[in-house]
Structure 1
């Protein structure tokens, strides 16, 4: 369905003639005056749109005016600060400098009310004298270099997000996809969407602020009567104003009022009654934070570009006894603590490898016992990523001495997962950033792998490459090529004779592919984890942030390909790309000889 054409909120004024005509109209005009080099202020658009919809007053008009080409606005040229001029009856009545939402809201309402009184003969129009209109043209001292401005402090800031619930009535009516599509048509970004069935107790907890009202019990019965879909929404680089914008898009809670005053709103289109009004949306930033924590406790809110703090990496080891008894529970605790599992490997150390890893403890009375424990069976090595990964993981672990951990921090992981008669604590964490890098290199040695962006996803290459880099991969070499049918058959030769072979090779020779050589610690398994399961539908359930979940279309058109072993990767690289220059080796030997459990076949 093509996007619905929207009524322009702000009139664009670019010439003196247009300016004179605009001021000749009756009512209150709010004009964003801008210089061409910095452009109009976009931060206030959602505010102006909300005010316009709330007031519904034909006397209120918004405009943007380019001072560079309008003689009357010459004093406002070369200014970077947003400036809003208020005109009534062709006369300046107020000025607001800066994108100050509350002040703009207050001034608009006050001046509009006053203008109504003027038109009714109950008040007089008062002209505002703005110093900017009478200021002399500034003298530019070209010979005097300006003082360098101090670099602004970068404050880590997360994007503004909000929550929308598509209620059981709209889900039952099959309107979920249509509602989400309308969000996207409005320029909103959907970060997550999940269908769930609320119990009556969960609904009571979510709507506890309504407890005691006459409609509380009916609300709980309705919200637990069938599945709903929870949607996390943001927009643009910062998400600024998204709470208000979603509320405006939903329309009034009363469906009849929505149909009368906001016929294009979601409630007007999809709601049927005051209770069954199709959608719920957070009404403030504070409410959005609470509701997001309720439905998406593990959701990682994106950072505003350029403000994200540096991500640390640390090594976590789940020792053999703990892994055998508590694997799933331990991984659950890791994710609950907000850590990203960037890499993982299950392996069994030899006695010699354990002694090498813990050689700094050699000579201590527990050394032999520790080495025996570490080589007694499969263990799990994890590369954890978070802003404060090293100290954060150490804090979660608690004291290294089990008795001290149980006495002083009974809620720490070492206390929770250690056995009564255990000689050693069940978990390991790097002590410093330097130690973390050294230990990660031991368990996750650097290697190369092959990655291919398939023809069906080539248009999404920028977004896919961004995810590759975010995951810590270095793209050593890349080459775009269109495979012939014979080349595609050579690439997937081990699948020859299988039912899907013809379709797969036909897809791969249907347009350009991007071949890339990726290098990183444990690149093969790391790339396969980032790709996600072969089936995009399965990927969406198991790993919704994986590349195939985000960009895949089907089992074969699943966006990307990856080799299953370093040897297979090297073979394809030599055949389709050529020799890749060796990178400078870093770190130690990376635990050569350790036995890694499990292997997959070549990925399609």
Structure 2
């Protein structure tokens, strides 16, 4: 009886961590106890305890599913399998991933769409803004090649940037399509007025967003945008000129604030010209923040936060950036920001100096260094 109770109180996973010093992929058994949010780890190769049971406040029950990457004491762990049948049944039985794509007409409304995705219980695990070539669009929509609307669809889908996202949730394929609503936006407005297409679409082609129609389609479409074979998929939209860098920090992403922060940025008349979600390794976070080492007392804690989970990098364009965007972000300390500039991003979404919602480029010349670093050195595994 006691054994059954303890089994119900914990989830077991097989996790991998790449050890850069030894250039080895290490495997662990990772146990998570949802009752008190604690974790413990066993080294599978050496058959020994690696981490005794320890409370770890930044992890949530929702973070534990196969395919996710979590951060435990600055080690980025990839959950590759369920450790027992109970965990597989409890956590994995209904979990699916699917493609959620924001079409060119709705990119200006991406903050609200991302907000709707998060509020519906989905987790966004991958995201990037791309510009499809004509050949790529024809390949992606090849099943519609014989349809009368095919030419208009291809012209529309190559007319501007799109945002491709992998979302994970219970019965994700059907749940996301239900949230999307009917293909024709007029029908959506009468039959499902709270749906994405009813709220943000125009007609049957310019209908705001796309969702995979089956598990098989989801696998194919996700591979198209996020190839597992080492390629990068369609080209990102980064311009690297007259721009600045913004990173929505891991705590803000995990708290579901991504859509709200993007809305604030767009409402302030800044343009988001590129977007990419990734999880930063500790060594990369240290390099990224190197300018603050020995200057800012919180440097170590800043590094820990930046590599604690997925973050969202944005390329921002606008008048006199990065100065105007840095002012829009507000003082680094959210408490000071709330007193002096309560409408700034950090005042509204920050918690403390480390978890202050966003990083922004400090000096104009640094933007030319930060953005290529993020996009080409670290964003791709």
- Return the TM-score normalized by structure 2: 0.43
**Structure in which a larger fraction of residues adopt strand:** 2
If asked which structure has higher relative contact order (CA below 8 Å, sep 6+), I would say: 2
